[in-house]
């Protein structure tokens, strides 16, 4: 392979310099190739650790190192590194339970420590012991809201390594926009937040107690507890590669830096314009924090090997300094949602900012008997979206066909009931039309699969057959959110709801709006040749211009 001058500069820096380095690598600039080649130039006596962003990247990088006979290089995710620190500092075996804090919060809501839950209910004028059916439903919904907020807070609190003070706590809440602008500007916000602050402390202490006494941890504990308990790894390294450094949380950076020798080097790689995980607790300044480590030299990879020229021109609206490695002809075409099924081919990648358009398309493709592949973590959600259409008894019932019409009627009732929470009448109608259409697509899929698998006794068994339709397959159409598509590439990319990107909301913080722009940049730069920009669906509503007057023929 012929390397660019920028890549050669990186190689020389790694081989001959002694400073830390940070590589600003635009999308498709061959950063993985650059890292692998750089590692091969380092003295074999030096210990090297590569910090991978996730498990799939870890597997990919590890295989490439093995191919280059560099299997001496350790490749691990940040979570695995944190877990290794915990494990090496304890004689006990830690057990993973990622629902640990769900259980703690359920108990907190039940026990109501120091009457804090009741205080929240009082501030929000909700009766803690209602007798009226409507008020009972209101209480149930609000307790569900509290649980989700507390889960979000306890996770962000640990990922950001927030100090134990009300002001620091408040800063985290406001930064992540956990309650929205309307709530944070209310007169009772500080009073309500004080309750959440005290409840979070209680939950955190319970979580630490579970880790200490029962060796029970969740994934975020793997990053947080080594910091809290001031633990260090047994083995440290001469050189640390940090991948995707624009999307790391404070707790991830803290774990990584514990593995570097005092006289060791850090080589970070990332693209600040691909920072998209702020919503999940990543520090939006993580790239700049690593760049700000003393004696850090900035290097760049600005040539994109992946994308054709016309796609690069679109990407330059978001990042001006991305350039094509060489002239490359591509195709960009704007199409409507309904045209996707006609144009999509085996192996193509379809991406979307939101899951809803993907779900709409998924059932259309399956009903057209087109193989589909979704991320393994999304398979369960898709199957549950079908499973939840039926009662537990219906899922086990042997005679399936009579169930389907009952399920349809019942679910339409719930759709129309839920729509009443939407104030705008047109939005409400669109919601009903879209949800009923999706409901029918799910039920059609069940009917079709039922006719194909006559040996199946019930819907639970049928769902196992449907699972096979959406699992990994080489000739399948791949569906992914833009977040999950980061790091992927394909000859042909479809971007759903492109006309709605960036996806701005009125209550977004400036950093959230910037990350929405980054998501559009990430989406555009996945293609190697053909790019379809898919318009959002337009739903036709029934005209309300006529009335009963028009139906009466005796009035002229």
List, for residues 434-485, the tens digit of each pLDDT value. Answer: 899 999 999 999 998 888 888 888 999 999 888 888 876 778 999 999 999 9
Q: What is the pLDDT of residues 456-468, one digit of tens each?
A: 889 999 998 888 8
Judgement on whether residues 257 and 385 belong to the same structural domain of the protein: no
Same domain, 119 and 102: yes
Task: Based on the fold, state whether residues 198 and 108 are members of the same structural domain.
Answer: yes
258 plus 314 within the same structural domain: no
Domain extent at residue 465: 376-469
For residues 21 and 65, state if they share a domain: yes
Q: If phi over 0 gives left and psi between -120 and 50 gives alpha, with beta otherwise, what is residue 150?
A: alpha
| 152 inside domain | yes
247 shares its domain with 271: yes
Q: Identify the pLDDT of residue 540.
A: 65
Q: In what order do the strands lie in the sheet with 349-352?
A: 331-335, 527-534, 490-495, 349-352, 477-481, 372-374
Distance between CA 249 and CA 252 in Å, rounded?
5
- Asked if 17 and 79 sit in the same domain, the reply is yes
Question: Which parts of the chain have pLDDT scores under 50?
Answer: none
The reply to whether 389 and 321 lie within a common domain is no
What's the number of domains the chain is made of? Answer: 4
Q: What CATH number should be reported for the domain holding residue 510? A: 3.40.50.300
Q: Is residue 277 part of a domain?
A: yes
The pLDDT assigned to 541 comes to: 61
315 and 283 housed in the same domain: no
Q: Final residue of a domain: which of 286, 304, 322?
A: 304
Residue that terminates a domain, selected from 182, 214, 246: 214
Tell me how far apart the alpha carbons of residues 513 and 18 are, in angstroms, rounded to a whole number. Answer: 38
23 within domain boundaries:
yes
| Residue 180 in domain | yes
Number of Cβ atoms within 10 Å of the Cβ of 422: 14
Residue 389, pLDDT score: 92
Q: Same domain for 318 and 341?
A: yes
Give me the pLDDT at residue 372, please.
92
- Claim to verify: residue 127 and residue 257 sit in the same structural domain: no
The candidate with the shortest Cα–Cα distance to 497, out of 474, 478, 485, 481, is 481
- Predicted local confidence at residue 236, as pLDDT: 97
Looking at residue 554, what is its pLDDT?
Answer: 55
Q: Both 355 and 210 in a single domain?
A: no
Q: Give the CA diameter of the chain.
A: 99
């Amino acid at each position: 392979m012929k390397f660019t001058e920028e890549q050669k500069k990186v190689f020389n820096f790694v081989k001959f310099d002694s400073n830390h380095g940070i590589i600003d690598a635009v999308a498709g600039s061959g950063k993985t190739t650059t890292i692998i080649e750089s590692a091969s130039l380092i003295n074999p006596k030096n210990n090297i650790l590569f910090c991978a962003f996730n498990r799939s990247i870890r597997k990919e990088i590890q295989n490439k190192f093995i191919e280059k006979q560099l299997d001496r290089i350790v490749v691990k995710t940040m979570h695995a590194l944190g877990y290794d620190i915990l494990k090496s500092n304890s004689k006990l075996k830690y057990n993973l339970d990622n629902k640990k804090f769900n259980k703690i919060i359920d108990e907190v809501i039940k026990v109501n420590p120091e009457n804090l839950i009741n205080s929240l209910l009082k501030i929000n004028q909700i009766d803690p012991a209602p007798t009226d059916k409507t008020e009972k439903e209101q209480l149930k919904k609000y307790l569900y809201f509290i649980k989700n907020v507390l889960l979000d807070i306890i996770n962000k609190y640990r990922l950001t390594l927030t100090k134990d003070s009300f002001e620091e706590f408040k800063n985290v809440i406001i930064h992540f926009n956990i309650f929205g602008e309307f709530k944070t500007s209310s007169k009772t916000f500080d009073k309500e937040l004080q309750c959440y602050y005290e409840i979070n402390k209680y939950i955190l202490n319970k979580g630490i107690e579970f880790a200490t006494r029962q060796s029970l941890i969740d994934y975020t504990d793997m990053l947080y507890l080594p910091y809290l308990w001031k633990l260090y790894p047994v083995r440290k390294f001469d050189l640390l590669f940090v991948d995707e450094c624009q999307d790391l949380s404070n707790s991830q950076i803290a774990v990584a830096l514990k593995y570097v020798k005092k006289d060791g080097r850090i080589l970070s790689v990332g693209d600040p314009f691909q920072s998209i995980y702020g919503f999940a607790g990543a520090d939006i300044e993580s790239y700049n924090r690593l760049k700000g480590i003393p004696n850090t030299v900035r290097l760049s990879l600005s040539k994109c090997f992946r994308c054709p020229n016309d796609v690069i021109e679109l990407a330059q609206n978001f990042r001006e300094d991305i350039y094509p490695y060489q002239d490359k002809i591509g195709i960009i075409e704007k199409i409507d949602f309904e045209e996707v099924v006609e144009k999509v081919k085996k192996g193509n990648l379809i991406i979307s900012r939101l899951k809803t358009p993907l779900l709409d398309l998924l059932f259309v493709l399956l009903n057209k008997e087109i193989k589909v592949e979704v991320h393994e973590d999304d398979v369960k959600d898709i199957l549950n979206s079908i499973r939840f259409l039926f009662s537990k008894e219906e899922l086990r019932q042997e005679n399936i066909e009579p169930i389907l019409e009952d399920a349809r009627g019942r679910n339409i009732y719930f759709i129309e009931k839920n729509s009443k929470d939407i104030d705008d009448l047109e939005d409400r109608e669109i919601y009903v039309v879209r949800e009923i259409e999706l409901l029918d697509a799910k039920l059609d899929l069940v009917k079709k699969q039922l006719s194909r698998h006559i040996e199946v006794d019930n819907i639970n068994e049928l769902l196992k057959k449907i699972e096979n339709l959406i699992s990994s397959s080489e000739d399948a159409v791949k569906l992914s959110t833009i977040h999950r598509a980061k790091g992927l590439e394909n000859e042909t990319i479809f971007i759903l709801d492109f006309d709605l990107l960036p996806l701005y909301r009125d209550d977004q913080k400036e950093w959230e709006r910037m990350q929405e722009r980054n998501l559009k940049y990430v989406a555009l730069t996945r293609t190697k040749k053909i790019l379809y920009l898919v318009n959002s669906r337009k739903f036709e509503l029934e005209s309300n211009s006529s009335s009963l007057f028009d139906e009466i023929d005796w009035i002229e």
